[in-house]
A and B are shown apart, each in its own frame.
Chain A
Amino acid sequence: MKGIVLENKILNDKYGIICIKSDEFAQNAAPGQFLMIRPQPYDYIYDPLLRRPLGICDINEKKGTFSLLYMIVGKGTKLLSKIKKKTELSFSEPLGTGFNLTTDKKVAIIGGGVGIAPMTFLSKILHENNEVDVFYGGAEEKDILLTHIFEEYSNNLIIATEDGSIGHKGFITEVFENSLKFNNYDKIFACGPKPMLKAVYDIIDIEKIEFEVSLEERMACGIGACLGCIISTIGTDPNSNSQKRCCVEGPVFNGKEIIWETVCKE
């Protein structure tokens, strides 16, 4: 697919958000899905070579647009941050298996750092017919973005930063653990660094609360062909793990099924 960049806003020295026009993409995207995008417009340039996986941060079906929130970490995202308005970029259709949505439930959304990206789209949809609390953590104030969206599309927005520059001081998982004393959540949705996801898994009573996580692995193809993005899950055979492709069967997984020791390395 191809689309024209309507806006590419640098939020601070770590993050940017890019808005792209594509009716077809906007109509077909579901919360938790991602895309593979070429971070520069020329198809004869082979470095960077692979497309970059980014979560779908927001959709405007009426306008036929979508947004991607990106953290500038390497050459691909650096190039993306330099893309000018009106540039045509090429990207995949919405990929992967997204979140299983709920209705009439009390849910918590937990996002850490740039893991907040797909949670924007998710909270907008969930807020239509659920009670939604958003727990948003980062290292510092710069990591806390798009709060106006969460203020509008959640019942409670709780923020924590490791340096205490905004919100509670400490890890968001600590704040979340505390809140469990007063709140009974039916379902938790989480996306962020793997240690954060593992911490949530350890905190909650996994037999009682539904838990869905969105995971990241390096991806070459994004469509299930290279087997570069394997996540080990508990299989039907107790003696052997099941191997799921993060790009097809994921990126959203049932947190109960993940073999955390195998994914928690990076």
Chain B
Amino acid sequence: MENLKTEICGIKFKNPVIAASGTFGYGLEFTNRIDISMLGGISVKGISLNEEKGNPMPRIMETHAGMLNAIGLQNIGVNKFLDEKLPELKKYDTNIIANFWGKTVEEYTEVAKILDCSDVDMLEMNISCPNIKEGGIAFGTNPEMTFEVVNKVKKSISNKPLIVKLSPNVSNIKIFGKTAESAGADAISAINTLLGMSININTRRPHLSNVTGGLSGPAIKPVAVRMVYELYQAVDIPIIGIGGIMNYKDVAEFFIAGASAVQVGTANFVNPEIISTIIDDLTTYCKANEIGNFTELKGTLRT
């Protein structure tokens, strides 16, 4: 497994494959299916200051090679997460990334402060959820607001590296990458879901109660690869590529475009064992192609 070892913001990863937030629960849902200690890391379901109920049903709908979701960030709140879930998760040998969000700048900084003093390995701030009315994407689609919230969060923490998760629902993602970097982000993850919609033609109602939802899965991969490529040209901090990864070839594609690590999301629903298959296949790929370390692929696009 030497060929997959890497380091991001000073944190050691046994491999660059991380489970994406919202698609892996709190990690514990998978422990009787795969050995979660073999993962590079787990980004847990988005945490907020208080427990959140999320949106009314229906919340999900399948689309061609993808799915729409409008879960609405249902979660148990930061305190319950730290009391009930984190101690269990820490029994496994993998990096825990605390994905978090807030409705206001103050909420973002409050949660960040609490998580910064906990046992998690990294923080990932979600400024890109398309499914909630307050906060979320509002911060991620306006450069001034992105700067303010990232900067305030960065100033309120002192222990853990800060990843900022970007929204693809913008016309120029480079601006947001640069803004997050200048506001103090230690790394960037991209992309969150693309805003989408689907309609039942018989009832003429939207398939989701929230009307719109976030599109994920293989359908969005080309958009995600393009955005990672653009970000790689714009920023110097590491980029974690996310969007539609289903197999080791997809991982390689993200690396060539400029990613330092990846997150696997919707694929976990399709096959809960898929991440372990991807990691095994990456090892085989490195050996077969005499690649000393997989990160050698990073940013090697020939144009």
**Given the contacts A49-B67, A225-B30, A226-B22, A217 and B62 also touching, CB distance less than 8 Å:** no
Contact, CB under 8 Å: B65 / A46: yes
Main secondary structure of the interface of A (DSSP, over half): loop
Min CB distance B60 to A, Å, is: 4
| Interface assignment of A82: CB less than 8 Å from any CB of chain B | no
CB within 8 Å of A: which B3-33 residues: 22-25, 29-30, 33
| Interface assignment of B266: CB less than 8 Å from any CB of chain A | yes
Contact, CB under 8 Å: B65 / A217: no
**Given the contacts A49-B218, A228-B71, A230-B74, A223 and B62 also touching, CB distance less than 8 Å:** no
| Interface assignment of A4: CB less than 8 Å from any CB of chain B | no
Min CB distance A76 to B, Å, is: 8
| Interface assignment of B196: CB less than 8 Å from any CB of chain A | no
Total B residues in contact with A, Cβ cutoff 8 Å? 34
| Interface assignment of A21: CB less than 8 Å from any CB of chain B | no
| Distance in angstroms between the alpha carbons of A43 and B274 in the assembled complex | 11
Contact, CB under 8 Å: B270 / A50: yes
Min CB distance A259 to B, Å, is: 11
| Distance in angstroms between the alpha carbons of A47 and B56 in the assembled complex | 27
**Given the contacts A225-B269, A230-B74, A243-B74, A49 and B62 also touching, CB distance less than 8 Å:** yes
| Distance in angstroms between the alpha carbons of A225 and B22 in the assembled complex | 7
B67: which A residues are within 8 A, CB to CB? 49-50, 220
Contact, CB under 8 Å: A223 / B60: no
| Distance in angstroms between the alpha carbons of A38 and B272 in the assembled complex | 12
A263: which B residues are within 8 A, CB to CB? 57
- Which of A43, A92, A226, A243 interacts with B60 by CB under 8 Å? A226
Contact, CB under 8 Å: A217 / B69: no
Contact, CB under 8 Å: B60 / A228: yes
| Distance in angstroms between the alpha carbons of A266 and B203 in the assembled complex | 11
Contact, CB under 8 Å: B59 / A230: yes
Contact, CB under 8 Å: A230 / B54: yes
Binary contact readout A15-51 vs B (1 if CB under 8 angstroms, 0 otherwise): 0000000000000000000000010000110111111
What residue in chain A is nearest B53 (Cβ atoms)? A243
- Which of A44, A226, A243 interacts with B269 by CB under 8 Å? A226
Binary contact readout B34-45 vs A (1 if CB under 8 angstroms, 0 otherwise): 000000000001
| Interface assignment of B275: CB less than 8 Å from any CB of chain A | no
Contact, CB under 8 Å: B57 / A217: yes
| Interface assignment of A62: CB less than 8 Å from any CB of chain B | no
List 4 additional contacts besides A46-B246, A49-B266, A227-B74; criterion CB under 8 Å. A43-B271, A49-B270, A225-B29, A225-B272
Q: 30 A–B contact pairs at CB < 8 A?
A: A43-B271, A46-B65, A46-B217, A47-B64, A49-B67, A49-B218, A51-B269, A90-B271, A218-B62, A220-B60, A220-B67, A220-B69, A220-B269, A221-B272, A223-B29, A225-B23, A225-B268, A225-B269, A227-B22, A227-B59, A228-B59, A228-B69, A230-B54, A230-B57, A230-B59, A243-B53, A243-B74, A262-B57, A265-B57, A266-B58
